[in-house]
Amino acid sequence: MNDCVITGGIVLDPLTGSREKRDLCFNNGYVSDSSPDADAFRVDVAGAYVAPGFIDLHTHIFSHSLFGHGRLTADRIGVHQGVACVVDAGSSGAITIDAFPENVHATQATRAYAFINIGSPGLPNLGGGHASRPELLDLEGVVRAFDRHGDWLAGVKVLASQSHTGAFGLEAVKIARKAASLVDRPLMLHIGNAPPLIDDVLDLLREGDIVTHTYHGKVGGVLGFNDAVIAPFKEAVARGVVVDLGHGRSSFSFRVYEAARAQGMPLDCISSDLHKGNVDRYAVSLVRTMSKMRALDMSLDEVIQRVTLHPARAIGLDTLGFGSLTPGISSTATIFREIPVDIELEDAEGEVRHASTWLETVGCVVEGKYYQATETL
């Protein structure tokens, strides 16, 4: 059944800015203004918030026989955590991408999209090296993949750090930039340990491209001498580059984010970079990452925008109804509560900040079907 009614909630729509206590109906899988059928599935969420389905813009949920270990499934960090949509950030490349529909779409309820890695195998191991030599880069293979899978490929991914691209780093970024331009999709740029230098790679980004792990705490990031934001990052922001969090195991620093924010730098999207190596500590879930941003004084509305409307617009999913609760177009919702707490939350550097509120998902709706959240957050 694709009909359900979420009753008693406070409905938030980032697109319209509305906030009202009302029921939210799904008919034939889509948000509807009409009254539901008598036999529609009903969920009473009295006092909880109801928002467009949460989107995690940076995850790793693709497994392949070439990879030597298991990966997280989309549902483990998706509908089981109240997240309606996940985006795999470069786990698959030109020689592995064709297995994505069978390994992910055919087995998971969570809506899943992907950035294709410029390195032809994708990410066969988390240690890197997948794009460190010219023969591992396949410009034509990446472009051709969009002919076959353009309906769910979000863009092109390149990991611009020594551990992934080695001494070939800047050339790999240039080839990825070319691929993204040829398919007219955004380039997602992972920034980390140099080489290549962040100054050089940021200069290659265009309006609509995405930089992830933006506020990591490694040497050579977006902060320079005396913690001043470096000019290439300011210029990238001014050009319209999308700024993503990408928490991960070692890629988010409270101190760096706070220093950059104090100098007027934005955060457009909140994402987890969840993978097998950080799901039990560090990132844990998208909602825990959101709670950390609340602890850093980001308002609830601002947090919700950054996991709904903003990521939807970043990869063109807003035209499919993601990021809003538009009748007849939108087909997802997330139900969550904000709970008073008195706890310490940890970033990827081991620093802590005090949190007085905690976000907890109740469940989500995907194409009119309700899924209860079951994973510890």
Is it true that 4-51+327-372 and 54-320 share their CATH fold?
Answer: no
DSSP H/E element including 304: helix 300-305
Calpha distance 202→1 (Å, rounded) = 47
CA 249 – CA 126 distance, rounded (Å): 11
- What pLDDT, on a 0 to 100 scale, did the predictor assign at position 35? 77
The per-residue pLDDT for range 215-246, each reduced to its tens digit, is 999 999 999 999 999 999 999 999 999 999 99
Q: What is the structure's pLDDT at 127?
A: 52
The residues, any chain, with a CB within 8 Å of residue 261's CB and separated by 6 or more, are 267, 296
* Residue ranges per structural domain of the chain: 4-51+327-372, 54-320
Cα–Cα distances in angstroms (integers) from residue 169 to residues 39, 65, 160, 178, 244, in the given order: 57, 27, 6, 15, 21
Calpha distance 50→77 (Å, rounded): 19
Per-residue pLDDT of the chain (377 residues), as tens digits, is 568 999 999 999 999 999 999 999 999 999 999 877 778 899 999 999 999 999 999 999 998 877 755 679 999 999 999 999 999 999 999 999 999 999 999 999 999 999 999 998 888 765 555 666 777 889 999 999 999 999 999 999 999 887 777 677 799 999 999 999 999 999 999 998 888 999 999 999 999 999 999 999 999 999 999 999 999 999 999 999 999 999 999 999 999 999 999 999 999 999 999 988 788 778 889 999 999 999 999 999 999 999 999 999 999 999 999 999 999 999 999 999 999 999 999 999 999 999 999 999 999 999 999 999 997 66
In 3D, which of 323, 372, 308 has the Cα closest to residue 31? 323
CATH class of this structure's domain 54-320? alpha beta
Q: In the structure encoding, which two tokens stand for residue 236, read together?
A: 């990238």
Task: Please name the fold of domain 4-51+327-372.
Answer: Urease, subunit C; domain 1 (2.30.40)
Its pTM stands at: 0.96
